[in-house]
């Protein structure tokens, strides 16, 4: 059973979607469905409380934004990669611990004006 609803997206995003759809031969509805599914799967790890592990990737417009945050979340950060590309920070946090704490780190990354992406390892929590 499919539910139909209207959404508004950026024109450039719509164009990119169109190109991807043409090149892969997969229709737009299906591509959007896959994208939403992936997004919700990843975020369910941050929403449902459980013990979690994964990689949290951050990209900041500038340097030093996450220094304090990294210190604050030391107990869940198992390993950490930090590089500067064109004077911008790229960080990869390998995390393990309570998903609520991981969500805290993720929220802090966004609050500092950085982009963040959590790649959980393991099954979707329920
Ligand atoms: Zn998880
Ligand atoms: Zn840096």
What does the block give as tokens for 39?
């997004």
Ligand nearest to the CA of 42: 1
Ligand nearest to the CA of 61: 2
Ligand nearest to the CA of 49: 1
Q: How far is it, in rounded angstroms, from Cα 18 to Cα 81?
A: 35
pLDDT in tens, the chain (126 residues): 889 988 899 999 999 999 999 999 999 999 999 999 988 888 899 889 999 999 999 999 988 889 999 999 999 999 999 999 888 999 999 999 999 999 999 999 999 999 999 999 988 887
CA torsion, points 43, 69, 49, 2, in degrees to nearest 10? -10
Check: CB of residue 125 under 8 Å from CB of residue 44: yes
Q: Cα of 71 to ligand 2 centre, how many Å?
A: 14
Class of domain 11-126: alpha beta
Ligand nearest to the CA of 81: 2
Q: Cα of 32 to ligand 1 centre, how many Å?
A: 23
pTM of the model as a whole? 0.78
Q: In 3D, which of 116, 126, 108, 113 has the Cα closest to residue 54?
A: 116
Domain boundaries along the sequence of the chain? 11-126
Q: Cα of 60 to ligand 2 centre, how many Å?
A: 8
Which of helix, strand or coil describes residue 45?
helix
Q: How far is it, in rounded angstroms, from Cα 55 to Cα 70?
A: 14
Q: What is the pLDDT of residue 1?
A: 87
């Amino acid at each position: 059973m499919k539910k139909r609803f209207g959404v508004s997206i950026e024109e450039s995003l719509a164009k990119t979607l169109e190109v991807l759809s043409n090149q892969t031969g997969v229709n737009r509805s299906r591509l959007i469905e896959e994208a939403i599914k992936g997004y919700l799967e990843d975020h369910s790890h941050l929403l449902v409380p459980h013990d979690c592990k994964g990689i949290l990737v951050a990209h900041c417009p500038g340097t030093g934004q996450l220094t304090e945050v990294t210190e604050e979340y030391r107990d869940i950060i198992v390993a950490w990669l930090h590089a500067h590309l064109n004077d911008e920070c790229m960080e990869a946090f390998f995390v393990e611990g309570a998903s609520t704490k991981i969500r805290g780190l993720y929220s802090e990354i966004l609050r500092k004006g950085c982009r963040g992406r959590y790649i959980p390892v393991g099954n979707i929590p329920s």
